[in-house]
Structure formats: structure tokens, C-alpha cells
Structure 1
Amino acid sequence: MSMADPVDIIEHAASTGQWRHYDGSALPASLAAALEVFAEQGYHGTTIRQVAGRAGLSVPGLYHHYPSKQALLAGIVDASMDELLSRSFAAEREAGDEPLARYDAVIESLLRFHMHRRNQAFVTSSELRSLEPEARARHIDQRDRQQRQVDTIVVDGANAGVFAAEYPLDAARAAVTMCVAVASWYRPGGAMSVDELVPRYAELARRLVGYRPS
């Protein structure tokens, strides 16, 4: 199955305001195959031969694109975080200047990503320990950038009197953690759809930061 270039998907989401929409996988075929097997068996329980078979390639053919199993994992993590950040910042830009609108948009973006890209989110989080130092440091930097985005919005809201959380940075971290955790339990076809869950969890996120209607 052919996959769209993740860069094209990300640029489209950022440039046309389509950050809410997910049309299939944004991963190349080899990474999509590796993601499926890593999600099923774990990184250390997966062989290159299994990934190649899932991708419909020979082992040499897979090595032509990704020279090692570690390169596959790093590729998944990098692509996932690039897409997550692109969608988050596109959502914030589209929301305007008001802290509440920015917060709602970014929380919605995080929730949608962790449901629509739940396998990517799960593997990215659970296999952090399996990344080699350079790739791990790159991932942590990207993860911290995401957290700083939400931190800034919540502090802006607290300074404006819109959010009443006694500890704004702790509240911001709790909100992000809640969004990330959705990937561990959400399943397509469950009792509630993405569009039903987003407003419920967005309301919970507002409560975490002590939103006070004027």
C-alpha cells in the first residue's frame, strides 16, 4: 500500500488549516509496516525479516531504505513528533490571540492526534527506552517543545485572569499527560467516537487549569 509523504501531509495541515483531519497514514510504507509489528510485538521482539515481510519487501530491499531496526524506530518517532508539533502549532496559529481559544485548539489537536495516531503515539512513548542516545535526545527535545507550548498558553491565561490554577505549570503538564494517555485506551469502534470524546476531554482540560468564564 502506498503512503503519502509525511512532509506533504504536515505542510498541508499547517498551510490549509486542516489540522483536525486525518486521511490514512502519514508514514512511508516501510515505517508503517514497522509500526504495525512494533505495536504488536514490541521493538525487541521484532525482527527485520518480519518488518520486510509486512512491507512486501526483501530484507536487502528494506535495508536499502533503512539500514537497521534502530533506523526504523527513529524514523517512526521523528515522523510522529514532527506531525504532532506541526498540527499543534497550526491549531494555535488558527485560534488567534486569546489564551482560552489557543488552549482549546491545542488540547483538541493533542487529543485527535493521540486517537487517530494511537499506534504511533504508543510506540513513540513505550519504546523511548529502546532509542539510541542521539535519537532519544532528539525525541525528548521535541516532547519538551510540545510541553512548553502548552505551558506558555496556560501561563498567559493565568496572567490574564482566565485560568485560576494555583500551579499553572503543573496544571499544564497534567493536561498534556491526560491527552497523551488517551492513546493507551482509545480504540476505533468503541463506545464513543473521536468527535464525541474530544469535547468531553476538552472540558476536563479546562477544569485542570481552572478556567473561569467572565
Structure 2
Amino acid sequence: MLEAMSGGAGEAEIRSRALGSWRDYGEPELPVPLAAALAAFAEHGYHGTSVREIAARANLSVPGLYHHYPSKQSLLQGLLERTMTDLLHRSELAVREAGDQPVDQFDAVVESLLRFHMYRREQAFVGSTEIRSLDDGYRDTYIGHRDRQQRMVDEIVFAGVAAGDFTTQYPKDASRAVATMCVGVSTWFKLDGELAADELIARNRQIARDAIGYTAP
């Protein structure tokens, strides 16, 4: 089946192509209603956006929109669930590919967080600013996703300290500071700005290493 799908390529080649795929970003693959909601929420905020506006952006009638998503809240929840699923998948893949050394895992998760918040700026921005707008029934789920991402960074930093690779006296504080720095990129970075994506990653990776007290041998 793999060979048929790949035009004769073997399984090893298919797996090789997948390596580093967490770095690959194209346009967000969102259903049309969610793409319309994202644009509206990013521009006007959740409470400043009407269902009628989202429907118009999606080229749907209001009843047509409700056929797919029964409320404005369901649009926000659907959008944020896809956002966090994508982020967590990329981060977990990056760490897994990095190997067993804490510093390599740390560099990978930092790069993954940075790339996501650079290339999915609108989704990250809406996720950060509209948590206040989530219904109680989903808010805990969303916070759980965010906590899972933070624990990923925490565990790597604690492992590096235990191994003697990182020298910070405050591993949890350093881990939170690093994650916050990465998330903050979504508020100011522009792909067509003066600072190229790879340069930003290199600079912030060094800042992150400084925060955890790692010096390359």
C-alpha cells in the first residue's frame, strides 16, 4: 500500500520524508467556516464579531453556517481545539525526533513553539486572547491542552538539571519564562519583516539556553 501511494517509494523513504515535517507550514487547513471565524475573531475579537459576519465571510447564509456549527461558541471551540491539536502534535514529534539528550530535546521544543507562533500567528493570538470567552464546559479542556504543552517543556528542563546539563537554580520558573517568550512571538513577528524566521529562531534559542543555564561544550 505504501509503495502504491508513493509511486514506488519504499517504506523507509516514506518515513524519511516525514522527518522534520513539524517544521513544514503552509496555509492553515481549516474548514471554511472556521477560517472565516478566525479572520473575524482576529480582527474584531470574539464579542465584537457577529454570526452574520462570519457567515458572510464564509459565503454562507446564517442557517447554512449553523448547519455546520450550531453557535458562535462552537466555532471558537472548534478553532481552538484544532489549534492546540496541531501545536501538541508538532511539539511531540519534534521532541521525539531530537533523541535522548535534554539539550537536543530542549532546542527542538523551543524551535517548534517558535515556528508555530510565527506561522500560526492568528490562531495563537485568538487562543491567547479569547480564553476568557470560552464556556466553562470547554475552558478546562483547553487549559488542559496548554498545561500539557507546558509540562513538555518543564519535564525536559528538569531532566537537563538532573543530568547536570542545565545549571538554573529555578527550573520551573525558567521553563515558564521560555514558553512565555515563544508564545509572545505571535504578537509581533511578521514573516515579511526585517528579521528572518531562521534568525529569530537562532537568537531566541540562545536566549532560551541562557535562561536554563546551558553552555555548549
TM-score of the two chains, using structure 2 as the length reference: 0.90
The separation in 2 between residues aligned to 1:113 and 1:212, in whole angstroms, is 26
- Does structure 2 retain, via aligned residues, the 8 Å contact 1:48–1:59? yes
- Does structure 2 retain, via aligned residues, the 8 Å contact 1:163–1:209? yes
State which of 95, 99, 108 in structure 1 corresponds to 2:98: 95
Shift of residue 180 of structure 1?
A: 0.4
Answer yes or no: is 1:61 the counterpart of 2:64: yes
State which of 166, 177, 187 in structure 1 corresponds to 2:190: 187
Larger Rg over CA atoms: 2
- In the alignment, structure 2 segments of 5+ residues that lack a partner are 1-13
Shift of residue 212 of structure 1?
A: 2.7
The separation in 2 between residues aligned to 1:132 and 1:52, in whole angstroms, is 21
Structure 2 residue identity aligned to 1:41? H
The separation in 1 between residues aligned to 2:114 and 2:170, in whole angstroms, is 22
Q: Deviations over 1:13-55 (max 9, x none)?
A: xx92300010111221110110000000000000011001111
- Counterpart secondary structure, 1:19: helix
Counterpart of 1:16 in structure 2 is 18
- Does structure 2 retain, via aligned residues, the 8 Å contact 1:162–1:213? no
State which of 30, 34, 38 in structure 1 corresponds to 2:37: 34
- In the alignment, structure 1 segments of 5+ residues that lack a partner are 1-11
Counterpart of 2:10 in structure 1 is none
- Counterpart secondary structure, 2:172: helix
The separation in 2 between residues aligned to 1:119 and 1:210, in whole angstroms, is 32
Moved over 4 A (4+): none
Matching of residues 49-198 of structure 1 within 5 Å: 49-198=52-201
Q: Deviations over 1:172-206 (max 9, x none)?
A: 00000000011011122111121221111111111
Structure 2 residue identity aligned to 1:150? V
- Counterpart secondary structure, 2:48: coil
- Give the % identical residues: 55
The separation in 1 between residues aligned to 2:205 and 2:153, in whole angstroms, is 14
- Does structure 2 retain, via aligned residues, the 8 Å contact 1:38–1:46? yes
TM-score of the two chains, using structure 1 as the length reference: 0.91
State which of 182, 197, 202 in structure 2 corresponds to 1:199: 202
- Counterpart secondary structure, 2:22: coil
- Does structure 2 retain, via aligned residues, the 8 Å contact 1:119–1:183? yes
The separation in 2 between residues aligned to 1:65 and 1:188, in whole angstroms, is 32
The separation in 2 between residues aligned to 1:211 and 1:183, in whole angstroms, is 26
Equivalent residues, number: 201
- Does structure 2 retain, via aligned residues, the 8 Å contact 1:34–1:72? yes
Farther-moved stretch of structure 1 (17-26 vs 86-95): 17-26
The separation in 2 between residues aligned to 1:188 and 1:103, in whole angstroms, is 24
